Structure 1
Amino acid sequence: MNKVPASVWKNPIHFLAFGLGSGAAPWAPGTFGTAAAVIPYLWFQYLALPAYLVMLLITTLIGIWLCERTSKDIGVHDHGGIVWDEFVGFWLTMTLAPSGWEWILAGFVLFRIFDILKPWPIKWADQKVSGGFGIMLDDLLAGIYAAILLQIGAALWF
């Protein structure tokens, strides 16, 4: 893993890109970032679907800019500590998820599995698409895969 730049604690853009500091974890920053994303989700889960989708759009667009800017500033494309993409990927996973901690945990695990294993086209996007959009895209795709499985699980459960 790359060294955490000191700017994470001084620059608000870097602080956000590093998931409010969660990406500065000494190991598994993506997992720590996803865990930190649960906290705002506890509020987001009560949004009506249209508002939730607007939140996803806004946080995705902000994320493209945050990740692009931070990676350029620190000179490392997709530094492991940049975890804003994990935040949005997890929130995408949880779109229309049933309420309850078991579903949050299931969404967390599914998202982490897809984000780590990177089945096609996630790995392709991770390797071929650059810039802030590229940093965000693989996690958005992982979030879509995880959301589909979470919805299948919910349909079978209920």
Structure 2
Amino acid sequence: MRFWARLIATVGGLGYLKPAPGTWASAAALPLAWALHVSGGFPLLALATLLAGASGYWAAGVMVGPDRIKDPPEIVIDEVAGQWLAIWAISLPAWLHGIEITVLWPGWVSAFVLFRLFDIWKPGPVGWADRSGGASGVMLDDLIAGLLAGLGTLLLAGVAHGFLMGG
């Protein structure tokens, strides 16, 4: 069981890349998100995100136990799940409107940069979740960071396309 938990938690060993394993995992999540979106649209990416979150929670629980506060850097399934959640901001509109998702490349950049910023900086609820400890803390801070990054990406898209500027 510990073998499978480590394999999932480190995303096949990706979490052992140095430096900044979380950034490596976030970067690796992007082409995987693209492949999921191209293969099955937003529903497949959403399902994969939910599966990554659930399996990540289980794997993190095995790896850190219920009482450990620190989020080990090699656990990066949380970054993958959070990054995919941020990508929902471009996957859903692309799927709903039949837009090729690569055309939305500024959204990819925004989702990546904002996710990494929120994950590292840990503002407000991201920091609270990170301090909560155990598997919940490991997973929840990145999911909240992904949600904030997705909302930020939507906000930036609205500004860029004039929806939020009265244009």
- Between the aligned partners of 1:69 and 1:133, the Cα distance in structure 2 is 12
Match of 1:126 among 125, 130, 146: 130
> What is the aligned partner in structure 2 of residue 53 from structure 1?
46
CA spacing shift, 1:37–1:52, aligned 2, 3 Å: closer
Normalized against structure 1, the TM-score is what?
Answer: 0.82
- Residue identity (%): 33
- Between the aligned partners of 1:135 and 1:76, the Cα distance in structure 2 is 9
User: Larger C-alpha radius of gyration, 1 or 2?
Assistant: 2
> What is the aligned partner in structure 2 of residue 153 from structure 1?
156
- Between the aligned partners of 1:22 and 1:34, the Cα distance in structure 2 is 10
Larger helix share, 1 or 2: 2
Q: CA deviation at 1:152?
A: 1.2
Q: CA deviation at 1:56?
A: 2.1
Once the two structures are superposed, the pairs formed by residues 7-156 of structure 1 within 5 Å of their partners are 11-46=3-38, 47-72=40-65, 77-97=70-90, 99-100=101-102, 101-127=105-131, 129-156=132-159
Segments of structure 1 that go 5 or more residues without pairing to the other structure are 1-9
Segments of structure 2 that go 5 or more residues without pairing to the other structure are 95-100, 162-167
- Between the aligned partners of 2:32 and 2:64, the Cα distance in structure 1 is 24
Q: CA deviation at 1:116?
A: 0.4
Q: What does the per-residue CA deviation read over 1:50-81, in whole Å, with 9 as the maximum and x for residues that have no partner? A: 44333322221111001111224xx8842111
